[in-house]
Structure 1
Amino acid sequence: MKKLLLFFVLAVSALAGPLSGKRVASFTLADATGKYYDVLDFRGKVLLIDIMKTDCPHCQTLSRTLERVKAKYGDKIAVLSIVNPPDDPTRVSAYIAKYKVTNPVLFDFGQATAAMLKITPQNPSINLPTLLVVDAQGIVRSDLVYDESLKAIFEGDGLYAVIDKAMGGAPAAAPAKKK
């Protein structure tokens, strides 16, 4: 079991993508109610930025995973989901209800997403879901784009090791059992 855990921790270390080690791009975006969220307000805790689309099946699964992660880590982390057109308030409201999403879902028209993912004419694509794990100082520690090799992170418990690493290696306590 310890060998498997060590292997997984080493594998997580290899997940550093092109954004890892860089400061997360600053943004302020609104949710469907018009409330604005500024990325700088989340300094001091690990921030998970989920760039998603409501009709993406892997995004839907990641939303469930993020809810489990929030239950485990509580207020030590924050989660922001970001959607771009053609997602609109009606679609997002239905998505939030269906998948029981409790984190803010923010609306972007491409600028924040483009800045965070370094979208340029030479790099014009967005792969979904994309998950940025940002440490307490605002540095991207992992930038993850869904593919089958990362299924344990997006759909299982593998995200815990990624978050623990962003927190400095201290694993979070298990969530309290409901009575």
Structure 2
Amino acid sequence: MRQQVIRTTAIVIFFLLTLSAKGFANPWAIDEMIGREASPFTLKDLKGQEVSLMDFRGKVILLNFWATWCPPCISEIPKLNNLRKTYAEKNFEIVAVSTDRSLSTVKKFIKKHPVSFVVLHDSSIKVSRKYNVFSIPTTFLIDKKGKIVEKFLGEYDWNSPEIRKKIDELL
């Protein structure tokens, strides 16, 4: 009887571990994305218009995953606005994907903190999962051909000479 309980428990634990491993993507898989084509997606902007990543093909894209409740994300907004202003006349676009559940929360936030770049809403976090985003802010630099060339985890100074050099090399 005791062996049967142990065997049953072992089988249950095995299946739970197997299911949980399949249910969660590997957070380190984000490194494997470098050099690969950026996964296409379509999300709605704050006006309800569908916007596809493919709409920006031929441009260098800074794809930023963020949320209104994230202090480092909020801190990045003025830097991203400044970066967008610097490259306004270039083939460069910033696409910010909000992972907030509520669209109205994002809209209210943007009213208080205006942005000069595209903001999309990923309430289901399907796109975030597709990009193996497990913490925010997470940002990807995508070249004109749609390949991911760099990833940035956490808050960055988007106006630093190093960042601008990377962008300039892609333009």
Task: Confirm or deny a common fold (TM above 0.5).
Answer: yes
The 3 A distance-change label for structure 1 pair 100 and 89 is same
Alpha-carbon displacement from aligned partner over 1:68-95 (angstroms, at most 9, x marks no partner)? 1111111421111111243x22221222
Task: After superposition, give the CA deviation of every residue in 1:19-71 in whole Å (9 maximum; x if it has no partner).
Answer: 21111000000023210111111111101111001111111122211111111
Q: Are the aligned partners of 1:27 and 1:112 in contact in 2 as well (CA < 8 Å)?
A: yes
> Which of the residues 151, 156, 162 maps onto 1:143?
151
Number of corresponding residues: 140
Q: Percent identity?
A: 23
Q: 1:106 aligns with which of 112, 120, 129?
A: 120
The equivalent residue for 2:98 is: 83
What's 1:51 paired with? 65
* Pairs within 5 Å for 1:94-173: 94-108=108-122, 109-117=124-132, 126-146=134-154, 151=156, 153-154=157-158, 156=160, 158-167=162-171
Instruction: State the match for 2:7 in structure 1.
Output: none
**Pairing of 1:5-84 with structure 2 (within 5 A):** 17-75=31-89, 76-84=91-99
Q: 1:64 to 1:156 in 2, by over 3 A?
A: farther
Quote the Cα distance in structure 2 between the aligned partners of 1:61 and 1:106. 18
More displaced stretch, 22-31 vs 67-76: 67-76
**Taking structure 2 as the reference length, what is the TM-score of the superposition?**
0.73
Q: CA deviation at 1:154?
A: 4.6
Computing the radius of gyration from Cα coordinates, the structure with the larger value is 2
Distance of 1:71 and 1:154 partners within structure 2 = 12
CA RMSD, 1 decimal? 2.1
Q: What is the CA distance between 1:156 and its match in structure 2?
A: 4.5
Structure 2 residues without counterparts, runs of 5 or longer: 1-29
Deviation at 1:162? 2.5
Q: Distance in 2 between matches of 1:115 and 1:96?
A: 25
Greater percentage in helix: 2
* Structure 1, unpaired ranges of 5+: 1-15, 118-124, 168-179
Cα 1:56–1:156 shift into 2, 3 Å: farther
CA contact (8 A) 2:68 2:100 kept: no
Q: CA distance change for structure 1 residues 46 and 20 in 2, over 3 Å: closer, same or farther? A: same
What are the Cα deviations for residues 106-146 of structure 1, in whole angstroms up to 9, with x where unaligned?
111121111122xxxxxxx6111001110000001111111
TM-score calculated relative to the size of structure 1: 0.70
Q: Distance in 2 between matches of 1:162 and 1:103?
A: 19
> Which one-letter code corresponds to 1:83 in the other structure?
S
